[in-house]
Amino acid sequence: MFDPTAYDNMKVVIDGYFYDMDLEGKISIIDRNDIVNLSKLSREYTIQFQLRDTRKEYLATLCLKADLENLAAELLNLKSVPNRIGSLVELEFVVYHPNEPIYFNKIHDQFKQIWGEKRTIQQQVHFNPFSNSHAIENRVTINFNRIIIEEQIDDLLVIGNYMIETLTWLENEIY
């Protein structure tokens, strides 16, 4: 029997948390991917959800990533690179609203308040120029700018709670 890696343990915790939230009726899981890239020896797990009983189609995605460097540092117990043992966590929220600065500013300010000043928060706009809709798709990403280590596994549950809080705020305050 093999010893699971930090990535594997974090993935199980994330999966369990979000499926529990789905069973409790708080969210609906829309998509889930568990990808192993054999040419780069990297792994990526994503889970996408929305609020249950939502009026809007806003989505949240959590992505957990580990590459060869993360795996090698852990398996070879390389004390010289302890900041590589773990996984990257990235978040994405998809929200629709008019292409007006007030919405971008409101989202930026609230995300900084919820997620903290140290996080990199970016907004990327997508739209169909031939559509009659005045709404754009805004993809808001949050990068923690560091490796999450296995000892911080409980923080993943806090991240899940903040994701639900963020979706609730978007639902109530944006468009």
Asked if residue 138 lies in contact with residue 111, where contact means CB atoms within 8 angstroms, the answer is no
Concatenate the DSSP letters of all residues of 28-91 into one string. Answer: EEEEEEEEEETTTTEEEEEEEEEETT-SS--EEEEEEEE-HHHHHHHHTT-TT-GGGSSBEEEE
Cα–Cα distance measured from residue 43 to residue 143, given in angstroms and rounded to the nearest whole number: 18
Instruction: Encode pLDDT of 41-99 as tens digits.
Output: 899 999 999 999 888 899 999 999 999 888 887 778 766 665 778 899 999 999 999 99
Residue 1 falls inside a structural domain: no
What is the reported pLDDT for 79? 64
Confirm whether 157 is domain-assigned: yes
Residues with Cβ within 8 Å of 21's Cβ and at least 6 positions away in sequence, in order, are 27, 49, 160, 164
The pLDDT tens digits of the residues spanning 73-85 come to 777 876 666 577 8
Range of the domain at 10: 6-173
How is the beta sheet containing 42-51 ordered, strand by strand?
27-37, 42-51, 59-66, 88-98, 135-143, 120-126
Task: Please tell me the distance from the alpha carbon of residue 45 to that of residue 47, in angstroms, as a whole number.
Answer: 7
- Structural domain contains residue 38: yes
Residue 79 lies in a domain: yes
Percent of the chain's residues with pLDDT above 90? 71
Residue 149 lies in a domain: yes
pLDDT tens-digit series, residues 103-153: 999 999 999 999 999 999 999 999 988 888 889 999 999 999 889 988 899
Residue 73 has a pLDDT of 79
Q: Which two tokens stand for residue 168?
A: 């609730």
In angstroms, rounded to a whole number, what is the distance separating the alpha carbons of residues 131 and 174?
21
Q: Report how many domains make up the chain.
A: 1
pLDDT value at residue 51: 97
66, 88 contact by CB (below 8 A): yes
Closest residue by Cα to residue 99 from 56, 59, 133:
133
